[in-house]
Structures are given as C-alpha cells and as structure tokens.
C-alpha cells in the first residue's frame, strides 16, 4: 500500500490530507441492502432466463469454469489500493468453497457470469461479481446477484453488503437496481 491513505468521505482527515498536499487517486464505495424485495429479485432472474440463460448455484466442480471466467475478466477489474481483485491460480478459486457460495449464469454450457457470496458479520456479503464482456449490460450480474440474495433469504439472512471501485459505475448501478443503498464512499490519497 505504500504511502496511500484510505479515508471515509466526510472524515476530517480528508481536509487535513488535502491541506498537506495529498491528492485523491481513487475512490470506492460500499452499499447495503436490508429486507430485499423478493419480487424485484425474482424479476432480475426471470429477465436473464427469458434471454436464454440458466441461472443456478454451482459447486466446486465449476472451479475451472469460474477461474477461466475470472482470468478473462481480470484485465477489466479496476485496480486501486482499496479495491483490487487478484484472481490467482486455480487452487485459489477452488479454495472459495465451502466458505463461499457461487451462483452462475450459463449460456448453454458456458459460464458467462458469476457472483461469490458468504455470510460475514450477519450479512450476506458479496466478494465479487464477474460477467464476460460480451454479456455485460444485459442484466447478467444483476441476475446472479439476485439469485444469491434469494438463496440467502431462504436461510434467514435479510441484510446484504458489497462494495467496489468508483471507476466501476456499472457495478454500483447494478447493485442499486436490486435495492442496495449507498452507505459509504472512501477516498484513497497519495502524497
């Protein structure tokens, strides 16, 4: 992380850092969802299915497909000191199970989108959502995330969280379309 300082927007340290000559080099956000609208979530899944995709939970047998999806998308992930995704090797992907659950979108037998979620501090916390470039802006990310939320609702989890880089506005908008509310913005400062 070097000399980077990550501070929540509105913190008095922002003004102090700026006065000391630090500049904002990146921004990030966090969103929360409480008591989601099940019909809104069902609708997101139905739209993807109507578009010819299959949405379902996947297990460790899909680690290779998930790893390939992630490797294809790795160059597209915004890199900031606060938000970065390093895919790693296949064993890293295989290590997601059993702590996490993975929900995928399939076009035929090809995994074209996925979201990875786990229970963390009482929340259904999304670790990442990934969609192949050719399938973006078609509701695929929304559909897999909606499917994951529906599954966690069935377990009694009613609050959800995730976050990302401000550079990825599409991700923020996809979350907001499912009812997530922006709760925090963070600034990354460098000297």
* % of the chain residues with pLDDT over 70: 99
Residue 177 sits in a domain of what CATH number? 3.40.630.30
Residue 82, pLDDT score = 86
pLDDT of residue 47: 98
145-161: per-residue pLDDT in tens?
999 999 999 999 999 99
Q: Is the pLDDT of residue 124 over 80?
A: yes
Q: pLDDT confidence of 2, banded at 50, 70, 90?
A: low
- Closest to 126 (Cα-Cα) out of 78, 85, 80: 85
Round to whole Å and give the CA distance between 150 and 78: 28
Residue 88 has what pLDDT?
Answer: 93
- Would you state the structure tokens that stand for residue 134, as one six-digit string? 């050719």
Backbone angles phi, psi at 101, to 5 degrees: -115, 145
For tokens 């199970």, what's the residue? 97
Please tell me whether residue 6 adopts helix, strand or coil conformation. strand
Give 12-16's long-range contacts (Cβ < 8 A, gap of 24+).
14/187, 14/189
Residue with tokens 């966690």: 152
pLDDT over 50 (residue 15): yes
φ and ψ at residue 68, rounded to 5 degrees: -65, -40
How high is the pLDDT of residue 147?
98
Q: pLDDT-based confidence at 29, cuts 50/70/90? A: very high
User: What token pair was written down for 126?
Assistant: 């999304």
Question: Token pair of 48, please?
Answer: 């993807």
Domain around 42: 5-190
pLDDT bucket at 1, cuts 50 / 70 / 90: very low
Per-residue pLDDT tens over the stretch 39-63:
999 999 999 999 999 999 999 999 9
Domains held by the chain: number: 1
pLDDT tens readout for residues 79-97:
888 888 889 999 999 999 9
Question: Nearest 5°: phi and psi at 178?
Answer: -95, 0
């Amino acid at each position: 992380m070097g000399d980077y300082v990550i501070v929540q927007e509105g913190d008095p340290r922002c003004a102090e850092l700026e006065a000391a000559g630090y500049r904002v080099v990146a921004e990030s956000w966090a969103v929360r969802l409480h008591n989601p609208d099940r019909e809104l979530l069902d609708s997101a899944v139905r739209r993807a299915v109507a578009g010819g995709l299959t949405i379902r939970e996947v297990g460790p047998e899909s680690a290779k497909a998930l790893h390939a999806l992630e490797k294809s998308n790795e160059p597209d992930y915004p890199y900031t000191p606060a938000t970065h995704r390093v895919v790693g090797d296949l064993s890293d992907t295989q290590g997601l199970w059993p702590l996490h659950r993975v929900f995928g979108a399939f076009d035929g037998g090809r995994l074209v989108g996925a979201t990875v979620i786990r229970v963390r501090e009482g929340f259904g916390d999304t670790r990442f959502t990934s969609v192949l470039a050719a399938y973006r802006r078609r509701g695929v990310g929304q559909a897999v995330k909606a499917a994951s939320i529906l599954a966690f609702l069935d377990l009694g989890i009613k609050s959800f969280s995730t976050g990302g880089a401000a550079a990825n506005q599409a991700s923020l908008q996809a979350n907001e379309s499912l009812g997530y509310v922006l709760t925090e913005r963070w600034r990354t400062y460098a000297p």
